[in-house]
Amino acid sequence: MRSILRPLALLVALPMLVLTACGGTDQKDVAATPQTTSEAGAFPVTIKNKYGDTVIKAAPKRIVLVGLVEQDALLALGITPVATTEWFGDKPGALFPWAKAKLGNGAVPQVLSDKDGLQFEKIAALQPDLIIGLYAGITADDYQKLTAIAPTVAQLPGAPDYGVSWQDLTRTVGKAVGKPKQADDLVNGVEDRFAKVRAEHPEFKGKTALMTSAYQGYFIYGRQDPRSRLLTDLGFSWPTDVDKAIGDKFGASISGEKVSLLDVGALIWFPEKGGLAKLKNDALLKNLAVSKQGRQIYIEENYDDPLYGAVSFVSVLSLPIVLDTLVPKLTAALDGNPATS
């Protein structure tokens, strides 16, 4: 059940990861990377989460991430976490290229796994002074155990598990590390790029679009999922009929009887590795106008493809890659010519 609720890449089985220290260093000996100066008056700060209030009295020096994408926001703010949590890709430090570029000469974070639940003993051994899990599925019991180790910023009130927006995530991380203004500036900069795309592509406005995966039938990412929000941020409309099928969940699979829900203006697929041909030959999908008119986009499972990773992370660092790469594909899908690749 846990894997079904996880984002895109966790819909397939991942090998169990073993926590290893970088360069053979034992985890308790890893030093915190020097952090840049926090903004004046930033501490103490209180951050509300779904389980209570997190009070941070001073700038944290050893930050452990139990969420899956927060490293991007931290590194964008000039801060390196002591440890990250693996999602997919098996990258050193769980850092994709856009985040690694911000690391510079900093120490590569250690990598935790939550495949079989949070690794509380390993988290405690890292001696964190702050734990962050915004893009996460922390339970009340998890939260109690984590707060016994260090102040913990869990999911925000009202946000579903793995459903926090990239804006709220970036701003919350900024508050937690004493850089709220810098975080605001980062968010505003990316939002300006979205506004530019909307202005340059009025054809997106009013069109419907969905993010989907061929998992247990046809898996649709719900309106609260960051990938779906990405589409509405580009100007697309949300197909409200989908809500009746999946509710307010992160996403859900639909049966073949409801395949007409996928007949939208633009349909973005994440085929599993080796599954593209099967998807393109699906008899039910072939009958939809979105298929006949060539308005489907395929982003195949490839951990080395910048777009695949960037559209999964939906972070302040990965979104520029998405805008540069996905927007031309959407433009081609909506050009009215089925022959366009």
Question: What residues are paired with 45 via a beta bridge?
Answer: 56
CATH 3.40.50.1980 holds for 2-189: yes
Q: Inform me whether the pLDDT recorded for 94 exceeds 90.
A: yes
pLDDT on residue 337? 77
Contact 272, 12 (CB under 8 A): yes
Rounded CA Rg of the chain: 20
26-40, 41-55, 157-171, 259-273: lowest mean pLDDT where? 26-40
pLDDT on residue 27? 36
**328: preceding bond cis by omega (within 30 degrees):** no
pLDDT greater at residue 18 or residue 257 = 257
pLDDT on residue 9? 46
For the segment 254-258, the average pLDDT, to the nearest whole number, is 93
Contact 311, 227 (CB under 8 A): yes
Handedness of CA 175, 179, 181, 184 (dihedral sign): negative
Return the C-alpha torsion angle 225, 231, 234, 238, nearest 10: -100
For the segment 172-201, the average pLDDT, to the nearest whole number, is 98
53-67, 244-258, 274-288: lowest mean pLDDT where? 244-258
Domain boundaries, the chain: 2-189, 201-333
The reply to whether 2-189 and 201-333 are identical in fold is yes
For the segment 206-213, the average pLDDT, to the nearest whole number, is 95
Binned at pLDDT 50, 70 and 90, residue 105 comes out as: confident
Q: Inform me whether the pLDDT recorded for 26 exceeds 70.
A: no
List the one residue out of 179, 161, 140 whose CA is nearest residue 52: 140
DSSP 11-71: GS--PPP----GGG--GGGPPPPPPPPPPTT--SEEEEETTEEEEE-S--SSEEE-SSSHH
List the one residue out of 84, 73, 72 whose CA is nearest residue 109: 84
Binned at pLDDT 50, 70 and 90, residue 158 comes out as: very high
pLDDT on residue 11? 45
Cα 117 to Cα 1, 98, 137, distances in angstroms: 13, 27, 10
162 class by beta-carbon count within 10 Å (0-12 exposed, 13-18 middle, 19+ buried): buried
pLDDT on residue 30? 38
Task: Give, rounded to a whole angstrom, the gap between the first and last alpha carbons of the chain.
Answer: 37
Tokens 């846990």 label which residue? Answer: 2
pLDDT on residue 37? 85
Q: What gap in Å lies between CA 118 and CA 121, rounded to an integer?
A: 9
pLDDT greater at residue 214 or residue 281 = 281
List the one residue out of 72, 77, 102 whose CA is nearest residue 87: 72
Binned at pLDDT 50, 70 and 90, residue 312 comes out as: very high
Q: What gap in Å lies between CA 63 and CA 30, rounded to an integer?
A: 12
* Helix segments in 211-334, DSSP class H: 226-233, 241-246, 276-280, 283-286, 289-292, 306-313, 319-333
pLDDT averaged over the chain?
A: 89
For the segment 99-110, the average pLDDT, to the nearest whole number, is 93
Contact 152, 131 (CB under 8 A): yes
Contact 213, 11 (CB under 8 A): yes
pLDDT greater at residue 37 or residue 109 = 109
For the segment 211-238, the average pLDDT, to the nearest whole number, is 92
For the segment 274-295, the average pLDDT, to the nearest whole number, is 94
Q: What gap in Å lies between CA 158 and CA 24, rounded to an integer?
A: 41
- Tokens linked to 100: 């690694």
| Domain at 201-333, CATH class | alpha beta
pLDDT on residue 204? 97
Q: Inform me whether the pLDDT recorded for 280 exceeds 80.
A: yes
Binned at pLDDT 50, 70 and 90, residue 13 comes out as: very low
Element containing residue 131 per DSSP (H, E) = strand 130-132
pLDDT on residue 31? 37
